[in-house]
Each structure stands twice: as structure tokens, then as C-alpha cells.
Amino acid sequence: MESVVQVSGTVISRPPGQKNPKMPTGEIEIKVKTAKLLNSCKKLPFEIKDFMKKTETLRLQYRYLDLRSAQMQYNLRLRSQMVMKMREYLCNLHGFVDVETPTLFKRTPGGAKEFVIPSREPGKFYSLPQSPQQFKQLLMVGGLDRYFQVARCYRDEGSRPDRQPEFTQIDIEMSFVDQTGVQSLIEGLLQYSWPSDKDPLVVPFPSMPFAEALASYGTDKPDTRFGMKIVDISDMFRNTEVGFLQDALSKPQGTVKAICIRKGAKYLKRKDIESIRKFAADHFNEEVLPIFLKTNENWNSPVAKFIMEEQGLGLVKLLETQEEDVVLLTAGEHKKACSLMGKLRLECADLLEARGVVLRDPALFSFLWVVDFPLFLPKEENPQELESAHHPFTAPHPSDIHLLYTEPHKVRSQHYDLVLNGNEIGGGSIRIHNSELQHYVLDTVLKEDVKLLSHLLQALDYGAPPHGGIALGLDRLMCLVTGAPSIRDVIAFPKSFRGHDLMSNAPDSIPPEELKPYHIQVSWPMDAETEKSSSNHPCRSES
């Protein structure tokens, strides 16, 4: 089993009755003349059959064996083919230039998630960039006009499930382009590179303003494969007697929101509803009220008795409720209430599908542009200050540019996200090409240290063309296209969620003398000092 054999002989037809039409070679066999064992295989740690369950730890430890599985072969080969098609589209059909940009770069402002690399100059470090953002803009200044790169990017987020410390993006930038130009390029790109064994993509993709995505789906990446939209029912409850609704509505931005779960009364159990209410209480500190509709006239809810007939009818009308539906209702500040409802919408979809209801067709790829994001957001730790919603090079929306100097928090941006089945698979923007405007945003609005970006500000001064671009997350995209359970299944040698290579045992210790040329030393934390010698293979037991 799994040994390598060299066989020579004559190809003959299989005897009658032994043909297997399901195999590509099912019609023939080889009449062996000579056979030679090229390399034998030891006892395998697991059988290489798709139906054999094995832990991911074991798969990652023996990755070279796991790669032999039909699924991994399919995933990696399809990835290669799709990327090749993308290159043909960009390079051969649309005149893009594939430019490699450095990965040994300098720290960017707020680059706390950037890996550092000590250099041979004491105290001087390179940083591994989170994206080629600055370089691609500089290429536009440099007259390269249409740039793309399948770019390796780095982000140190510590231990996070389904994130990789290094990942790949299809990185694109164009001069003299607007938002529609970038969008239609990407639509064409995906359509052209889409696997032939799937339904062809229909373009253009629909588009939705961020405000609508938040209001109707409670997220900036709506899964539009199914409805169950969030509905604002605040107006119906202005005169309510229900305490917590009264409370919420009396506050600024106070709202009442609802989603309707079709046939929820049939599929959801009491404990499901309880777990939903608990989730809302635990994660959002919010109350959720379930309302069961036995029939359209027959309410069953703790608040039912407080809901006046008029409100009941209004709900039925607005939510288009039918027999056996369940309505979930919450109240609170608009954004928070929407976020909660957005989470519950997905939670309920999972619950319904676990009960056999098909909400999200697995063959359906539902692309969506989300547009008109805010340019800035209040900082979480200090809401008086603003930070970039995406990055500081994003251009403001042309209609809102006058607000930049008076009410910057109201300015919308020319940023756009590409969403697939509820996952953000890309994002980009038209960039600021005016040096003064860029300086104003960095210095006055964001209060960043402009010195770290002086080269970029300077570059904009020398006749930078208007430009914009986008980056697609290749790992995530391939994960969705192949239907893989994790991005680790579309990467040949991924790291575990703790950032370890379980096969080679990276990261590893380095002899102190090899650190000397880099003028660094390890500062051992108090509790690690004693463990130093015994920590030989800390990752082998990782799950």
C-alpha cells in the first residue's frame, strides 16, 4: 500500500465483466512484463482514504501523506488552475503587469500586527507587510498603470481559528479608474476563472449600501442566499406598554427590530429559543422576545398580551407572517440591535438546516458588492477620536467631500467590499491621490505620525494619477469554491491555529549565537524561565 512501483508491460482490455466505467482507466489493465520496487512504504499512520476520519493534528503532522488524499489533490490543483486563469485574464487580456513587491519593509503606522525581522544593524527591524498597499500605490505613481500580483501577506494575530499568519491575496491596482471600473474588472475576472464544473457566474453582481446591509442583515457581509431580513418595527411600538420596548425607544437611536423565522414553530424546539435568548443576553446584554404564531390570529409570547391588535396586524403585514412562523423581537440602539439580529439570523439558519430545512443551496454562489461605507469610525477605546474604517488611503465619497472638514464622521468612503455567501472575500477603494488631502486625513483627522508615510505623501506630489484597486483573499475564495471546511484545506502547508507547523515543528528554538548578528536577545518571561529546557515539542499535543 502506497509503495512506489515501476511496471512495464502491455496495455490490454480488461476481461469482460471486470470493466469499471467509474474509473478513468477502468477499461484497461496492464499485462506485466517487469516490475520493480522503487521505494517501499512503511506502516502508514493513517489510511489515505477520504472516508477515513482522522484528526486535523494528525493530518497536519503528516501533511505529505494527507496531500495524497483525493480532496487535497482536487483543492490544490483547482487553486492552481483558477489562479492561472486569473493571470491570463489580467495579464493577457487586460494588459496588467505582474510586479513583485518587497516583503522586507518598514513598519506602517499602527502596524502592531506586523511580524518584525531584526537586521544586522542594532535596533533596526524590517517588518513583514500586511499587504502591498503602499507599493501598489507607488507603482501607479511610477506609471505602471495596471498592476497585479498574487501577493504573500503577513499578519500576526496570535492564535485565531481559521486565520493564517501568512496568506495570499490577488492584489490589483489601476490608474484612471473609478469604482465601477474596478468592480466590472473583478466581475469579469471571476467569471473568466470560475471552475467549469460549476454554474457560470452571472454578472454584474448586485450592490448594496453599507447602511442597508446593516439594517437588513445586521452585518457588512450579508449572506444573501436566504431572506429572513431584519425589519424595523419601531413605529408600531411608539405607544407600547411593554417596559423594555418603552425604555429602548425613549433613548436616541432607540429601535425595535424583528426577524421572522418561517415555519419556526415547526422546526425550533423550546431549548433552541432558550439558547437564542441566552446568546443575546450573554453577548449583547439584550433581551430577545420570541413570538410564536400558531395561526395568524393566535399569538403566543410573554408579551403577547401587551401587543395590541393593531400592532399584531402591523407585524403580520410588515413581516408577511404565516402560520407556524416564529418572530424574534428585540429593542435597542439601531446598530447594536441590528448586529444582534444579524447573528440570530445566521444562528437560526444553522438550526433550521440542522433540522433538514434547506435554506442555503450549496451549489449557489451569491456574490454581493457592499458599498458606501463610512470613511471613519469612532475609536472603540475613545469614541471622541476617529480611525479609518478601512485604511487611511481611502478616498472620500465625492458627494461628501465638503463634510470632511466639518463633520468627518458623516463622510462616506469610496471603499467597496466583495461578499460571497456571507464571507468578505475582497475589499478595495479609490485612493486619495492628492497630497494635501492625504496629509489632512493622516495628520488632522487621524492624528497619525506622518513621518512614517513621508515617502508616500511625497510621491503624491509628483503628478500621481487618480487610482484605485482591490485585493481578493485567495485562501478564503478557494475555501468557498471548493466547499472546504477550513482555509487550511486549500493551503499545502498551513499553520495550526496557534501558528505552528506541526510537521516540522516551527517556530523553533535558535542557538543564542545565531541571534548575535541581529543584536537581539530573548527576554524570558518569569514563568517560562523554568520551562525552557523541557519545552521540546510543545505543539505535538495541539489539537
Span 471-510, contacts to its own copies by CB under 8 A: 491-493, 495, 499, 501, 503-510
Q: Which of 40, 250, 295, 534 is the binder for its own copies (CB under 8 A)?
A: 40
The residue written with cell numbers 440570530 in the block is 344
Contacting its own copies within 163-222 (CB under 8 A): 165-166, 168
Q: How far apart are CA 206 and CA 217, in angstroms?
A: 15
CA angle 358, 359, 361 (to 5 degrees): 75
Q: Which of 11, 28, 44, 93 is the binder for its own copies (CB under 8 A)?
A: 44
Indicate the angle between helix axes 70-87 and 474-482, nearest 10 degrees: 130
395 binds its own copies (CB under 8 A): no
Q: How far apart are CA 504 and CA 309, in angstroms?
A: 68
Q: How far apart are CA 245 and CA 237, in angstroms?
A: 7
Q: Which of 38, 52, 358, 363 is the binder for its own copies (CB under 8 A)?
A: 38
Which residue, 364 or 515, is less far from its own copies as judged by CB?
Answer: 515
Binding mask of the shown chain, residues 406 to 445, with x at each position contacting its own copies by CB under 8 A: ---------------------------xx-----------
Q: Is residue 315 a contact partner of residue 327, using CB atoms and an 8 Å limit?
A: yes
Which residue, 25 or 504, is less far from its own copies as judged by CB?
Answer: 504
Q: Is 239 helix (H, G, I), strand (E, B) or coil?
A: coil
Q: State residue 277 phi and psi, 5-degree precision.
A: -65, -35
* Residue 349 Cβ vs its own copies, minimum distance, rounded to whole Å: 33
Q: Which of 9, 26, 102, 378 is the binder for its own copies (CB under 8 A)?
A: 102
CA angle 83, 154, 156 (to 5 degrees): 140
462 binds its own copies (CB under 8 A): yes
Q: Which of 14, 269, 283, 519 is the binder for its own copies (CB under 8 A)?
A: 519
Which residue, 101 or 255, is less far from its own copies as judged by CB?
Answer: 101
77 binds its own copies (CB under 8 A): yes
158 binds its own copies (CB under 8 A): yes
120 binds its own copies (CB under 8 A): yes
Q: Is residue 216 a contact partner of residue 222, using CB atoms and an 8 Å limit?
A: yes
58 binds its own copies (CB under 8 A): no
115 binds its own copies (CB under 8 A): yes
Contacting its own copies within 298-337 (CB under 8 A): none
Which residue, 56 or 325, is less far from its own copies as judged by CB?
Answer: 56
CA angle 208, 214, 220 (to 5 degrees): 70
Q: Is residue 46 a contact partner of residue 532, using CB atoms and an 8 Å limit?
A: no
541 binds its own copies (CB under 8 A): no
134 binds its own copies (CB under 8 A): yes
152 binds its own copies (CB under 8 A): yes
| Residue 31, burial from CB neighbour count under 10 angstroms (0-12, 13-18, 19+) | exposed
The residue written with cell numbers 449600501 in the block is 209
| H-type alpha helices, 148-226 | 179-193, 210-217
* Residue 433 Cβ vs its own copies, minimum distance, rounded to whole Å: 6
521 binds its own copies (CB under 8 A): yes
Q: How far apart are CA 193 and CA 418, in angstroms?
A: 16
156 binds its own copies (CB under 8 A): yes
Q: Is residue 197 a contact partner of residue 220, using CB atoms and an 8 Å limit?
A: no
Q: Is 263 helix (H, G, I), strand (E, B) or coil?
A: coil
97 binds its own copies (CB under 8 A): yes
252 binds its own copies (CB under 8 A): no
Which residue, 37 or 363, is less far from its own copies as judged by CB?
Answer: 37
Q: Which of 54, 57, 99, 343 is the binder for its own copies (CB under 8 A)?
A: 99
Q: Is residue 20 a contact partner of residue 34, using CB atoms and an 8 Å limit?
A: no
- Type of residue numbered 26: G
- Minimal CA–CA distance to 174: which of 163, 182, 166? 182
Which range in 182-190, 214-222, 333-341, 511-519 contacts its own copies by CB under 8 A? 511-519
* Residue 380 Cβ vs its own copies, minimum distance, rounded to whole Å: 19
* Residue 403 Cβ vs its own copies, minimum distance, rounded to whole Å: 23
57 binds its own copies (CB under 8 A): no
Residue count, binding to its own copies (CB under 8 A): 108
183 C-beta neighbours (distance < 10 Å), count: 21
